[in-house]
């Protein structure tokens, strides 16, 4: 009995050697998205436990012979610092969990892919094509020429072109 039990076959997975490279790449991509989401979920859980422990620590439970109307001594600065720290930790991890979950749902793996999809969703490509098709007016052309000459290192040429064009326009 040298063969072992194959759990992959039990769960409906096929032989990985029969999968194409595209399928393996897609599975790796989805696993990375899932791992990022679960990592942020775990971080959010840990942050919530830390915040809960901080709240419980502040609770005043008097013993049998202590008064229940006398609060213990505390520091406003320390309490404010702890509250801001806990709130920031919870907000950051929750936002990370929300973003990674949305990225996992919409199959987005990088910030570059996110910007690409948002540009398509908001109609950026159509607007960009329409903007490129529009004719360029004289003032815009002058400004772009000046900026190009500044970026190329010809600082004096940028200002000379503008002055000569203004002089020729005023002499007409």
pLDDT at 51: 96
pLDDT at 170: 58
C-alpha span between 86 and 80 (Å, rounded): 10
Q: pLDDT of the chain along its 172 residues, tens only?
A: 456 776 666 666 767 777 888 888 888 899 999 999 999 999 999 999 999 999 898 877 777 887 777 777 788 999 999 999 999 999 999 999 999 999 999 999 999 999 989 888 888 888 888 888 888 888 888 888 888 888 887 777 666 655 555 555 555 5
- By residue count, the chain amounts to 172
C-alpha span between 35 and 65 (Å, rounded): 52
């Amino acid at each position: 009995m040298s063969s072992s039990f194959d759990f992959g076959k039990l769960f409906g997975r096929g032989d990985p050697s029969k999968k194409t490279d595209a399928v393996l790449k897609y599975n790796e991509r989805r696993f990375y998205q899932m791992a990022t989401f679960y990592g942020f979920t775990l971080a959010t859980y840990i942050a919530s436990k830390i915040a809960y422990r901080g709240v419980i620590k502040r609770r005043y439970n008097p013993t049998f012979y202590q008064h229940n109307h006398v609060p213990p001594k505390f520091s406003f600065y320390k309490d404010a610092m702890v509250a801001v720290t806990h709130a920031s930790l919870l907000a950051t991890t929750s936002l990370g969990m929300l973003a990674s979950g949305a990225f996992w749902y919409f199959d987005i793996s990088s910030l570059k892919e996110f910007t690409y999809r948002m540009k398509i969703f908001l109609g950026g490509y159509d607007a960009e094509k329409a903007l490129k098709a529009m004719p360029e007016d004289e003032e815009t052309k002058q400004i772009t020429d000046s900026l190009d000459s500044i970026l190329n290192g010809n600082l004096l040429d940028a200002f000379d072109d503008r002055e000569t064009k203004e002089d020729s326009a005023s002499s007409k």
